């Protein structure tokens, strides 16, 4: 892997230090993302854009790289997924059409309004997690009535649309939705989020976004290496430290994602 990375860096138009910086940013952002259940786009996506990668190409590359994050996290937590197969199928069946729709309409919607909405929601989630001390620390199996089942599927579809269009923060929304709806703890919810959103949603979004902007293979493989190793390491830390670490990281990441999205929104309005 190191030999491959060196060859990619040497053949790239970017400097060695810039390539190493992308690798480190990808590793650390995906480590925190694997702990909290989302938020890799808070650092990784802006870093690519600031590095001169066009927005749609950066978004598509980021999405494809986060598939590796999902694989790394799921590889570490695969045993916890087998009990939630039914929920997994619901997230995929109702979420993927939303992802495809979001990837198709991203060219035609005003990003600042989506950033504003998702930013406010992320900040509210951070405050809710902070002030509700027992939130996500224990796991129960809630019995859902028909109304709650339909509401869950509608929210999954809407979050899928957001995932296909703006990416940042949608994994956090799915994590919080799973905790609120099914009574999961953070570790269980995050594991399920990365298996469904991290792998299948993001791969689908990346495929459909690739029609807008092509991938830069050198940057992409560096991102994949950083995302996979960061995802595995973050999931490993989560298992060692448990729900308290995940809850604290989730709250912090939610807050920073929200602030970042609000700033993006305000900049675009100005």
Q: What digits encode the pLDDT tens for the residues 44-68?
A: 776 776 666 766 677 777 778 888 8
Residue 12 has pLDDT above 50, yes or no: no
Q: What is the largest CA-CA distance in the chain?
A: 58
Q: What digits encode the pLDDT tens for the residues 167-225?
A: 667 888 898 899 889 988 888 888 888 889 888 988 888 787 776 656 666 777 888 88
Residue 91 has pLDDT above 90, yes or no: yes
Mean pLDDT of the chain: 77
DSSP, collapsed to helix, strand or coil, labels residue 256 as helix
Residue 8 has pLDDT above 50, yes or no: no
The pLDDT assigned to 181 comes to 92
Percent of the chain with pLDDT over 90: 12
Q: How many angstroms separate the CA atoms of 136 and 129, rounded? A: 8
The pLDDT assigned to 94 comes to 95
Q: How many angstroms separate the CA atoms of 102 and 167, rounded? A: 10
172's enclosing H/E stretch is: helix 170-182
Backbone angles phi, psi at 128, to 5 degrees: -65, -45
Among 74-83, 92-101, 171-180, 193-202, which range has the highest average pLDDT? 92-101
DSSP, collapsed to helix, strand or coil, labels residue 184 as coil
Q: How many angstroms separate the CA atoms of 81 and 91, rounded? A: 13
């Amino acid at each position: 892997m190191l030999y491959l990375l060196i060859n990619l860096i040497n053949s790239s138009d970017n400097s060695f230090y810039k390539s190493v910086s992308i690798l480190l940013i990808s590793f650390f952002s995906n480590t925190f993302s694997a702990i909290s259940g989302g938020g890799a786009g808070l650092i990784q996506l802006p870093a690519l854009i600031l590095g001169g990668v066009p927005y749609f190409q950066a978004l598509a590359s980021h999405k494809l790289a986060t598939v590796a994050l999902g694989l790394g996290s799921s590889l570490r937590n695969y045993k916890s997924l087998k009990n939630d197969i039914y929920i997994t199928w619901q997230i995929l069946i109702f979420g993927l059409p939303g992802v495809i729709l979001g990837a198709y309409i991203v060219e035609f919607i005003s990003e600042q309004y989506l950033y504003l909405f998702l930013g406010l929601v992320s900040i509210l989630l951070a405050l809710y997690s902070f002030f509700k001390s027992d939130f996500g620390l224990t796991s129960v199996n809630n019995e859902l009535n028909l109304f709650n089942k339909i509401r869950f599927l509608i929210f999954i579809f809407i979050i899928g649309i957001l995932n296909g269009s703006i990416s940042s923060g949608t994994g956090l929304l799915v994590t919080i939705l799973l905790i609120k709806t099914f009574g999961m703890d953070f570790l269980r919810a995050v594991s399920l989020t990365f298996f469904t959103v991290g792998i299948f949603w993001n791969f689908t979004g990346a495929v459909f976004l690739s029609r807008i902007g092509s991938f830069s293979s050198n940057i992409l493989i560096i991102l994949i290496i950083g995302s996979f190793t960061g995802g595995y390491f973050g999931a490993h830390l989560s298992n060692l430290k448990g729900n308290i670490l995940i809850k604290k990281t989730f709250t912090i990441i939610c807050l920073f994602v929200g602030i970042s999205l609000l700033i993006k929104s305000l900049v675009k309005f100005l």
